[in-house]
Amino acid sequence: MKWLEIQVTTSQEAEEAVTGILYDLGAGGVVIKNPNDVKELAQTSEWDYFDPSLLEEGEEVKISAYFLITTDITDKVNFLKERIWELKSFGINVGNVKVEVSEVDEEDWADSWKKYYKPLKVGKRIVVRPLWEEYSPKEGEIVIDLDPGMAFGTGTHETTKMCLEFLEDIIKPGAVVFDVGCGSGILSIAASKLGASRVYGADVDEMAVKIARENVKLNGLENVEIFQSDLLKNFRGKADVIVANIIADAIIRLIPDVLPHLKEEGLFLASGIIKDRFEEVKERAEEFFEIIDMKEEKEWLSILMKEKG
């Protein structure tokens, strides 16, 4: 089967936003080639062999999305370009954007992205193991088996790694956890394996929900429920920990709705915040919360909060 490949070259900062736009347009799959991820994986000890050709010059991200060839595909390409340039109005630096279009065979892309992902140690004891890789855990390690479904999260992104490190420290036995914008389900699965009694994860994207459910099943977890929701809209009850690894604009929109869903002395972990947007997020957050801890990696920030007072 022939597919249309639309490859967008953009900045690290715009990676998640552009990926979201491509999925909104109906992409059947997305492959992200981020040079920082490749360089970091090349330095880990888990690689038996590393192909130097994977390392490229520069810091730009290449996002390849695949679409069935239909009569409206030209309109989709034009709409994509408009949406990307609109990101500037949200303060997102899109870099020197380039959009390229070509036809490809399905077998040329369906599995090519998998070569970038190997077992990855995150924090003190979490290991993320892609489904197709073998790994023998060391004593005390928690292994998360993951079929990330291309663009939905493998643990390599700085924001996901910081969340996993925080969760290692804040999840207490028996905790109830809400994972807002769950993507591949990696944070929901981690919370369960770290001792949470119940975990509820949701994403606005139907494909993400499907992938997250599959990953929960893959890990044999009975205490994790995944469903579709726009932020906290479809969540019920209260949690000990609410984690949201999304983008700054969504976090700002989410903040006022967090406290009604948070237990007394509960914690709110927000991630996916680009440094240039931190002051906006901080100003909004401090209307309701006290920031008690923060992690920073490259251009990204994660903040841990509790209710004021």
- Where is the binding site for S-adenosyl-L-methionine, in residues? 160, 181, 203, 245
CB 91 within 8 A of CB 41: no
Q: Tokens in use for 265?
A: 């002395």
> Across the chain, how many H-helices and E-strands are there?
9, 14
Q: Tokens in use for 92?
A: 């997102």
Q: How far separated are the first and last CA of the chain, in Å rounded?
A: 60
3 state SS of 167? helix
At residue 60's C-alpha, the angle toward residues 54 and 62, to 5°, is 65
Residues annotated within the binding site are 160, 181, 203, 245
Within 13 A of 283's CA, how many CA atoms are on the CB side? 5
Closest of 97, 247, 218, 57 to residue 157, by C-alpha: 247
Q: Tokens in use for 145?
A: 């088996």
Pairing of strands 120-122, 126-130: antiparallel
